[in-house]
Structure 1
């Protein structure tokens, strides 16, 4: 098992980032309550794989994510969201072993933030392309319509498909949950740090470069990503600026123009790996504003 826990090497996850308008398509079920086995199976069928994909090698140790869910449940972590990347049509073997992501909330919360809950984010596949990845996440239920938005996380632990995988995953989950206080400290520092309008525009410009790497003129203007979609995000501090920008990046739907001048709307992010890349980058931008 290898791990990397520095706050500056963070990743950020937003449950709201999985949009039906994205490609590759994902299917998701999100709720505050613990998911039943039936809900998990409907959202991420690869969780219940009975064997590894045929393409895996002889050293690959198959442990179904179902067993990880059971072990984490016994350790006090309840699954609250599951997503899976859909495979190409006709690739039934890949569909049953594809990359999937689950979020778990500790039954007993150790994070002392009024509007944020700590989570464990688990990523895995059964096709040999991904080790178990565990990251610390946060969940902020800010809308009555069930929208899950903008939350940061830190830490990363890889557990390879070798040896006692189940014990390694449970140990990593406990270790990450034990460090939730560090994330809370970062969030409080972001809330206490006010940005000028020019600084907020700089944040949005850097976010645009992250979202559209290698492109010339982005399809939207930085100021559009500073527009707040909800009252809870109105304010000039780093935390609320980060939340507003992250939601625009991940959910899409912002009016813009293509390089040829055609009207368009930005697309939401549906791919798990792309969501990880963007969330990681955005969280680092926010940390830089508080000197971390």
Structure 2
């Protein structure tokens, strides 16, 4: 996900200040609901959750919020925050994978409070949202006893999150042949470019999903291949050549996935693909 600021670098890792967050994502600081919500809508002030997570050692290192064309709604709209432990004394190297917590929320009715586990691969500075059998996204609706549900859900994810770190070691032991790599690429190709029925119209070919962006990614193990596919899916920049309505040659280039919901949805689906491939190889 491309929601990192300079504070998220691993060589200068530090938490974002509230001044920095307010500039980039003011909706984090909403303590009330947008005027369009009914009295049954219970606002969940994200900043209060962040301050509580800080007591558990997690601090924000990257933030992003959705744009809104409705006047006055920008201070309540959907936002996504990445958190990690920066004062735990650990020294990270290129190639390491680090566990993070992702928090999504909105106080305008566009999103429930949601907490997910995330992984960050230092080698290429790409990231992924994980969804495994033991770690599911915790969602809390803006109604009822919100406070207790938020606290309970937060601790559940915090207690389970670091189990995701098993995947890099496990997936790295599975070597993929060319057909298996192409199968992973083709599935990701449909996820990224397919319509609701799975039909793909883009001239960008599935094998483009396997294009490496750095020499360290030449390995054919599942973990490396998966990260290559994930980065190409999310970051865009893939090229193809088709024809326009008049039959003239037309070059196209895929765009980066910037929407919060689309980003998370694609990452979750890609993670499931990786898990299924790991199960088959095992």
TM-score by structure 1 length?
A: 0.82
Give yes or no for contact 2:129–2:264 (8 Å, CA) kept in 1: no
TM-fit CA distance, 1:161 = 2.2
Q: 1:166 to 1:229 in 2, by over 3 A?
A: farther
**Structure 1 segment 72-91 matched on structure 2, within 5 A:** 72-88=53-69, 91=70
Residue matched to 2:5: 29
Residue matched to 1:281: 269
Question: 1:186 is matched with which residue: 151, 161, 167?
Answer: 167
Q: 1:265 to 1:140 in 2, by over 3 A?
A: same
Residue matched to 1:175: 156
TM-fit CA distance, 1:141 = 2.2
Unaligned ranges ≥5, structure 1: 1-14, 19-27
Question: 2:123 is matched with which residue: 133, 142, 151?
Answer: 142
Tell me whether 1:96 sits opposite 2:84 in the alignment: no
Residue matched to 2:207: 223
Summarize deviations over 1:143-192 as a string: whole Å, max 9, x none: 5xxxx303342321112223553453343233223223431222222111
Residue matched to 1:266: 254
TM-fit CA distance, 1:129 = 2.4
Higher relative contact order (CA 8 A, sep 6+): 1
Unaligned ranges ≥5, structure 2: none
More deviation, 282-291/161-170: 161-170
Give yes or no for contact 1:120–1:173 (8 Å, CA) kept in 2: no
More deviation, 61-70/97-106: 61-70
**Structure 1 segment 1-292 matched on structure 2, within 5 A:** 15-16=1-2, 29=5, 31=8, 32-88=13-69, 91-106=70-85, 107-108=87-88, 115-143=96-124, 148-154=125-131, 155-214=136-195, 215-258=199-242, 260=244, 261-291=249-279
**Displacement over 4 Å in runs of 4+:** 107-110
Aligned length: 261
Secondary structure in structure 1 of the residue aligned to 2:130 = coil
Q: Report the structure number with the largest CA radius of gyration.
A: 2
TM-score by structure 2 length?
A: 0.84
Secondary structure in structure 2 of the residue aligned to 1:134 = strand
Q: 1:230 to 1:115 in 2, by over 3 A?
A: same
Give yes or no for contact 1:67–1:166 (8 Å, CA) kept in 2: no
User: Within 2, Cα distance between the matches of 1:95 and 1:257?
Assistant: 38
User: Within 2, Cα distance between the matches of 1:139 and 1:167?
Assistant: 29
User: Within 2, Cα distance between the matches of 1:232 and 1:169?
Assistant: 40
